[in-house]
Structure 1
């Protein structure tokens, strides 16, 4: 991922009076745990960040509407209006299944095992090229991974996994937000996903946003 420096704007209030700036609004999907680790590694106060959840079917809506300053992304969406930092973390790969599922008791699984079950189609406005990395269309041996179920919200995903033998190829960080009857099983033949910070290209981000991007990138290099 190529780092593209955001345009910085001052944090001073219109009145010129000294005031605490509002928290930096960081868009996340799923767990706050991964984001919190990035914030801690960058040595920024917990109180300086506000986490705002976005749905996977509309990943960039809040960013484009100005309701978030930055967001966490996995892989490069190649959207012309989205700029990315360098990698700031990794997220291990996993398959999500209900507790009743034949894969639920495994310590780890392969793509070949996953391909025995139906997965989820690319949702809404989610970039198809990124979905192919999240949910590979084929195993390494060329066997098709059937992407048949509709993906909407996390709650709907949980209900589908709970009531069927569906599976979803996803990320280990989601374990922190899923109920106990949804199991997160590591996928040992998929590499971890790079995680980056994204912002709307050309937006005048506050200076503290750029400081956070810089500090998170430096922390990831250590």
Structure 2
């Protein structure tokens, strides 16, 4: 009897509904997908070490050894603020207002060009965005935000798992982040390209916002970071 193929190891960071929705769209009978959370401060390490077969990426990826899919979903922009912050009760805010508060430097070894799209150096109106704090984890970031010491320019999907001590407020004048897949060009794990092709066929023609994901597919299993 042939050995059972191992699950496709699918990396994500943040809201698990995103990889769940993509795996559901790309599912094939008999295929098992294992969700593995990766650290934001070194996002491509598990992929390059062979511990992941593919992963969710957002904003952009220009790494020469990594391939990328078409955009599959979008994730709206948001400001993460403390529950007692002056912006916390707003329905939405402008990035020009958010720039009045201290933010975060690029964490760890995340490529600087990616962080420049997450936290732009200047607003569309030309106002500089202050990158004051250096952190290595989402937990550290949330602690500073909770205490009202900083504001994080991020994604609206964080609302799905943010602690009660913070508020996630939409930013209405920044474009949403594209959500796509990335994987190693060589050698490439078996089944990855077929999985990507199925996901693109189902999702890339009209990418939806991640807030519309409410799936819990039964063929997934999740492994923490």
1:87 to 71, 79, 84: 71
- Give the match for residue 59 of structure 1: 43
1:216 to 174, 199, 213: 199
Report the Cα distance in structure 2 between the residues aligned to 1:118 and 1:53, rounded to whole angstroms. Answer: 28
CA RMSD of aligned residues (A): 1.7
Report the Cα distance in structure 2 between the residues aligned to 1:31 and 1:148, rounded to whole angstroms. Answer: 26
- Give the match for residue 194 of structure 1: 178
Deviation at 1:182, TM superposition (A): 1.6
Q: Contact 2:61/2:68 (CA < 8 Å) preserved in 1?
A: no
Q: Contact 1:91/1:171 (CA < 8 Å) preserved in 2?
A: yes
Q: Give unpaired runs (5+ residues) of structure 1.
A: 1-16
Matched, 1:185 2:169: yes
The equivalences for 1:64-213 within 5 A come to 64-207=48-191, 209-213=192-196
Describe the SS at the equivalent of 1:194. strand
Q: Contact 2:78/2:170 (CA < 8 Å) preserved in 1?
A: yes
Deviation at 1:108, TM superposition (A): 0.7
Describe the SS at the equivalent of 2:200. helix
- Give the match for residue 22 of structure 1: 6
Q: Contact 2:53/2:188 (CA < 8 Å) preserved in 1?
A: no
TM-score (norm: length of structure 1) = 0.87
Report the Cα distance in structure 2 between the residues aligned to 1:218 and 1:110, rounded to whole angstroms. Answer: 35
Change (3 A) 1:47 1:152: farther
Deviation at 1:46, TM superposition (A): 11
Describe the SS at the equivalent of 1:173. helix
